[in-house]
Amino acid sequence: MMRLRAWSRTFGLLAPLAAIAALGWPAAARPFVAATIRGRVDVPAGSTATNGRPDVAALSMSMHDTVDRRRCVVYLDPAPRPAFDPGDEPHARMDQRNEGFVPHVLPIVVGSWVDFPNDDRTYHNVFSLSKTRPFNLGRYAAGRSKSVRFDRPGIVRVFCDIHSHMSAFIIVFAHRYFSVTDDEGRYHLGNVPPGTYNVAVWNEAHASQNRRVTVPDGGGDVEADFTLR
């Protein structure tokens, strides 16, 4: 009799699970096959640098070479919900090297710290007047480094108070679906769940572009190329 009762209780628990299995996984728990959105961003090669330090509010101005000016940030807007889950963000790094910032464009996630090491043989003074994250690290010598935490999304224009030709961009995102183009203009956004997304492109010297992209349920690569004007 006790065995029969125990079996009845077990069957009572398993029956709903069997019914769920027969109907399929709930939408929220159903596993998906991630995809990669990849492509290339073509940027006109005829852009010329601007002499002198520009107005810090003019985000379209730049003073760096052609490779830097052609560097783009590609991102999803909006991004899938899991992209906003909190995590331990590693320190990012923007070097001061040969009187320039390396990298010239640095995308990070909200909450990240950025280290600004001085790898030159001269003093530097890194600062920003951007509303997203104003700061001034003061002058410091070669071999030293200072850090800043970025806790709001937005664009931060970075300068050196000693060397007027130095400038860079830090793009602060509220999610992790972003990528920087390489020297050939290529990018990839990995681990994207199925759905329809808006893929956007930012470049310091050109108007932003975006296009709708659909990631199928079966995963795989989805191509999305851009040509900036």
DSSP character string of 22-38 = HH---TTT-----EEEE
Distance of CA 202 to the CA centre of its chain: 11
User: What's the pLDDT at 7?
Assistant: 33
For residues 198 and 215, membership in a common domain is answered with yes
Helix H or strand E encompassing 12? helix 2-23
For residues 203 and 161, membership in a common domain is answered with no
Domain that holds residue 152: 88-174
User: Is there a domain that residue 192 lies in?
Assistant: yes
User: Is there a domain that residue 213 lies in?
Assistant: yes
Across the chain, mean pLDDT equals 79
User: Is there a domain that residue 11 lies in?
Assistant: no
Query: How crowded is residue 78: how many other Cβ atoms within 10 Å of its Cβ?
Result: 13
For residues 146 and 190, membership in a common domain is answered with no
Instruction: Give residue-wise pLDDT tens across range 115-144.
Output: 999 998 899 999 999 999 999 999 999 999
For residues 151 and 184, membership in a common domain is answered with no
For residues 70 and 106, membership in a common domain is answered with no
The domain tally of the chain equals 2
Phi, psi dihedral angles at 137 (to 5 degrees):
-85, -5
For residues 103 and 167, membership in a common domain is answered with yes
For residues 71 and 93, membership in a common domain is answered with no
User: Is there a domain that residue 114 lies in?
Assistant: yes
For residues 132 and 191, membership in a common domain is answered with no
User: Is there a domain that residue 22 lies in?
Assistant: no
Q: What pTM was estimated for this model as a whole? A: 0.75
Distance CA 77, CA 181 (A): 17
Identify the CATH number of the domain in which residue 201 sits. 2.60.40.1120
For residues 65 and 105, membership in a common domain is answered with no
For residues 168 and 195, membership in a common domain is answered with no
Question: Please, which residues have CB within 8 angstroms of residue 220's CB and are 6 or more apart in sequence?
Answer: 35, 36
User: Is there a domain that residue 145 lies in?
Assistant: yes
Q: Could you tell me the two tokens for 122?
A: 């001269």
Asked if residue 156 lies in contact with residue 132, where contact means CB atoms within 8 angstroms, the answer is: yes
User: Is there a domain that residue 76 lies in?
Assistant: yes
Phi, psi dihedral angles at 62 (to 5 degrees):
-150, 160
What single DSSP character describes residue 154? E
For residues 48 and 111, membership in a common domain is answered with no
Average pLDDT, stretch 25-36?
60
User: What's the pLDDT at 10?
Assistant: 35
Query: Closest Cα partner for 171 from 146, 196, 152, 188?
Result: 152
User: Is there a domain that residue 128 lies in?
Assistant: yes
Identify the CATH number of the domain in which residue 137 sits. 2.60.40.420
For residues 154 and 184, membership in a common domain is answered with no
Instruction: Give residue-wise pLDDT tens across range 53-98.
Output: 444 333 333 344 556 778 999 999 888 766 556 666 678 999 999 9
Give the pLDDT band of residue 52 (cuts 50, 70, 90). Answer: very low
The one-letter amino acid code at 134 reads P
